[in-house]
Structure 1
Amino acid sequence: MNSRDLLPRRAEALIGEALMDTRVVLVNGARQTGKSTVTRLVGGSSSDVVFRLLDDPATLRAARADPAGFVDRESGLMIIDEIQLAPELLRPIKLTVDLDPTPGRFLLTGSSRILALRTLPDALPGRMEVIELWPFSQGEVDGGPDRFVDAAFEHGPALDHSTTLRRRDYLERVVVGGFPEAHRRTPRRRSAFFESYLQTLIERDVLQLASIERHGEMLKLLSLLASRAGNLLVPSRLAGQSGIPRTTLTRYLELLQSVFLIKSIPAWSSGSTHRAVGTAKLAFVDSGIASHLLGQSVARLDEPGGAAGPMLENFVAMEIARQLTWSDERVRMFHYRTKDKVEVDVVLETPDGRIVGIEVKAGATVRSEDLAGLRNLEAAVGERFVAGYVLYTGKQTLPYGPKLRAVPMEALWRLAP
């Protein structure tokens, strides 16, 4: 596949911008999301750019044998792929950019959260910008603007969208997910990719971060976590269900977050909202992986007993998480749940306290009671509440109050401010 066949990535512009004023840029994200490809596109064919691929055994041996010599270069950009394989390079990189603070010296990629590793030396504070590269967003796949977050805060309840997509169209997107390789394959071959991906993730990336006692335990835990996507992340409950000791399970959860397989969404609470529950909620970074672990095809998801609800909620939350890496609004993502079990799937909050609430419904119709959580959140935050949306599989935007709207799910990647 040549560069003209590649889907444009939002991160490419972010990386180029960061290299203009930052000495070291790290592109961090899951395996197979296209980090190597996007950094090569940023680097181009300039003679001032040097590529170092640590997946190559000879290159990795050289990096470990002489870290200082490996990164020694007077000028130009050095791209080092899979930096987590040789974290000993970070100290000489720090020394190099301290001696010469010229922006754009090093572009690194990583497949695990290397900054969180306990064995890591001083990791370039103030010298490095981290850019997350996620699996494809729906806007990257379809050529949409991917600006729902900015549109929601700018337009509030005036936001409007209509679509021709049906529930089954959304479920198709859920089971494919966002990995470039998954988009290139038939359903049967896609399943083989997911199986291989998970096996490699456990045997390579997880084992690089920490030794695990039994691979079977981790695979069993992954299936259990997929069945709990969209639920509160309670280690003691998961330990009881899996038979894995709680201390071991907590370590496994940290490892799975470090390799970008799962994500925890923190709970939102206000100083005046004493009845909010502070437990994080579980999500899978890629809905295709989660659906595969559950054995859920489009047809199975669409059945009455299928997992369409939690998988669509996961899908929406992770599309929003992707957008937060490039939105103009600085926003943090939470979920909301009271002790009375009144819930809002996604809460977005800006630094100045403005709030947008998002509820996800798998159905093509919305009932008034589906907005109970949004009404509760609006009452809790008052004037800070910009708008509340139920993202559903229907075809038009419908009003349910001065600040509440039901909006087709496609608005996520089709709307712009």
Structure 2
Amino acid sequence: MYQRYMAGPVKEALEDTSVILINGARQTGKSTFCQQLMEQGIFNGRFVTLDDATTLTAAQADPTGFLLDLGEQVIIDEIQRVPELFLPIKKLVDENRKTRRYILTGSADVIALPRMADSLAGRIEMHQLWPLSQTELRGSDPPFLKAVTDPDTPYQNRKINWEDTVRAIKTGGYPDAVLRTTETRRDRWFEAYLTAVLQKDIRELSNIEGLTQLPNILHLLATRAGSTVNFSDIARLAGIKNTTFQRYMALLEHVFLLVKIPAWTPNTEGQFVKSPKVLLNDTGLLCHLMGESAESLLSNRTTAGLFFENFVTLEILKQLSWSSLSLKAYHFSMHSGAEVDLVLEDRKKQLYGIEIKSKASVNAADFNGLKRLATLAGKKFQKGIVLYTGDQVTGFGEAFKAVPVGNLWQ
């Protein structure tokens, strides 16, 4: 069982917040995480899951009575199944905010449900549980984000094994997939997983006809993972209306299979790409959809580099989810070709650019996008780094460094 670093922020939230919502894709380990909170003494109360038919029926029949029977400290798993519970939770919390604590988990974005948004505003803190990060899998917690933002925290010379990294990309971070011992068994798991999410979970959220097109749409998005996406082009290739495609995209976001990274742009018009980048939430899932094996990636460094960029980006997003630094993630891209894979913005609107390269050596040209961003951002720009697969921290000017990617997880 892996230690989830989200436990720290959740423990802090329980001190002053009545309702904690833990969102995330199905099978990312939300139920196991909640059990760990109880085993570690972080949360003392009951655990119920609405995946259980009897419990589901009881919650639907009498939501208020159901909650009263459970007591003041309760974990309710898969809360999206009974949105009727939100208003009774609000009432009970307002009656006693000091001792009542609810931890809710959801495999769909319940904040998008109208009754949720209206009832628990100001009473709830939200956290997203991703598939396992490399730091969680390795039991490490290096201060990468602190080093990005704090000039007094140094980067370290770190060497990675490329073959091990590619196999980690192929495996991904879903706990059940990690436990499978062969690629064939993992691919079987991903196939069953996608069938369950696309045919069951999304159907429960939608009244759209023709959901049989979703696998094809997800595959089209997978081929463009890590890039800005022209939604009209994908809708045309899928043979559906643009409005229908937008609804499909929203559904895939609601079940956390897709991640959008918005564009950072200065206050000028015309020359900047404003479309978001789209990522799948796990590179193991991405490899499955693209039919890539570890061997095929190892034999083609260029293709592997595209998956590596997704892998590193997701690792940073996962670390942001439990970080206390309050950094927002963007990408930067210009129509002229200048781009930066990730732009982190702090509360003071200061910017930290991160470019990701799968190659083992870096040259001055690899910093061109970061330097263009620095020029446009002016005093807001603090630092630019190129994460690469070499092993030496190397300066390329006062604000720019090449940093071994091993700083992320070693």
Counterpart secondary structure, 1:224? helix
The 10-residue stretch of structure 1 (253-262 or 33-42) with the greater mean CA deviation from structure 2: 33-42
Report if aligned partners of 1:146, 1:412 keep a CA contact under 8 Å in 2: yes
Inter-partner Cα distance in structure 2 for 1:74 and 1:98 = 17
Partner of 1:3: none
Give 5+ residue unaligned stretches, structure 2.
none
Inter-partner Cα distance in structure 2 for 1:10 and 1:49 = 21
Counterpart secondary structure, 2:321? coil
Counterpart code for 1:196: A
Give matches, 1:335-354, under 5 Å: 335-354=331-350
Shift of the alpha carbon at 1:411?
1.1
Query: Are 1:291 and 2:306 an aligned pair?
Result: no
Query: Are 1:79 and 2:75 an aligned pair?
Result: yes
Aligned-residue RMSD, C-alpha: 2.0
Inter-partner Cα distance in structure 2 for 1:367 and 1:242 = 40
Partner of 2:373: 377
Report if aligned partners of 1:146, 1:323 keep a CA contact under 8 Å in 2: no
CA deviations 1:65-89 (Å, max 9, x no partner) are 1111111158531111100111111
Partner of 1:132: 128
Inter-partner Cα distance in structure 2 for 1:159 and 1:45 = 33
Partner of 1:54: 50
Query: Are 1:38 and 2:9 an aligned pair?
Result: no
The 10-residue stretch of structure 1 (287-296 or 163-172) with the greater mean CA deviation from structure 2: 163-172
Partner of 2:207: 211
Query: Are 1:166 and 2:161 an aligned pair?
Result: yes
Inter-partner Cα distance in structure 2 for 1:69 and 1:190 = 42
Shift of the alpha carbon at 1:310?
2.2
Query: Are 1:278 and 2:263 an aligned pair?
Result: no
TM-score, normalised by the number of residues in structure 1:
0.93
Shift of the alpha carbon at 1:367?
2.9
Counterpart code for 2:178: H
Shift of the alpha carbon at 1:305?
7.5
Inter-partner Cα distance in structure 1 for 2:375 and 2:369 = 10
Counterpart code for 1:81: D
Partner of 1:202: 198
Counterpart code for 2:144: F
Inter-partner Cα distance in structure 1 for 2:100 and 2:268 = 46
Report if aligned partners of 1:296, 1:306 keep a CA contact under 8 Å in 2: no
Report if aligned partners of 2:111, 2:117 keep a CA contact under 8 Å in 1: no
The 10-residue stretch of structure 1 (162-171 or 358-367) with the greater mean CA deviation from structure 2: 162-171
Partner of 1:176: 171
Shift of the alpha carbon at 1:219?
0.5
Query: Are 1:92 and 2:55 an aligned pair?
Result: no
Query: Are 1:222 and 2:222 an aligned pair?
Result: no
Shift of the alpha carbon at 1:299?
1.7
Query: Are 1:300 and 2:296 an aligned pair?
Result: yes
The 10-residue stretch of structure 1 (69-78 or 356-365) with the greater mean CA deviation from structure 2: 69-78
CA deviations 1:198-256 (Å, max 9, x no partner) are 11111221111103423431011111111100111221111122222211110010011
Inter-partner Cα distance in structure 2 for 1:174 and 1:312 = 7
Inter-partner Cα distance in structure 1 for 2:158 and 2:44 = 47
Change (3 A) 1:315 1:7: same
The 10-residue stretch of structure 1 (278-287 or 392-401) with the greater mean CA deviation from structure 2: 392-401
Report if aligned partners of 1:115, 1:123 keep a CA contact under 8 Å in 2: no
Inter-partner Cα distance in structure 2 for 1:235 and 1:331 = 27
Shift of the alpha carbon at 1:13?
2.1
Inter-partner Cα distance in structure 1 for 2:28 and 2:163 = 25
Counterpart code for 2:272: A
Shift of the alpha carbon at 1:96?
0.8
Counterpart code for 2:37: V
Inter-partner Cα distance in structure 2 for 1:89 and 1:366 = 54
Report if aligned partners of 1:80, 1:108 keep a CA contact under 8 Å in 2: yes
Which residue among 226, 235, 241 is the counterpart of 2:237? Answer: 241
Partner of 1:191: 187
Change (3 A) 1:137 1:273: farther
Report if aligned partners of 1:83, 1:110 keep a CA contact under 8 Å in 2: yes
TM-score, normalised by the number of residues in structure 2:
0.94
Calculate percent identity across the aligned residue pairs.
39
Inter-partner Cα distance in structure 2 for 1:381 and 1:95 = 47
Counterpart code for 2:175: P
The 10-residue stretch of structure 1 (112-121 or 226-235) with the greater mean CA deviation from structure 2: 112-121
Query: Are 1:27 and 2:22 an aligned pair?
Result: yes
Report if aligned partners of 2:5, 2:136 keep a CA contact under 8 Å in 1: yes
Partner of 1:386: 382
Report if aligned partners of 2:4, 2:33 keep a CA contact under 8 Å in 1: yes
Inter-partner Cα distance in structure 2 for 1:41 and 1:168 = 32
Provide the aligned length of Structure 1 versus Structure 2. 408
Give 5+ residue unaligned stretches, structure 1.
1-5
Partner of 2:328: 332
| Large movers: runs of 4+ above 4 Å | 45-48, 118-121
Shift of the alpha carbon at 1:164?
2.8
Partner of 1:143: 139
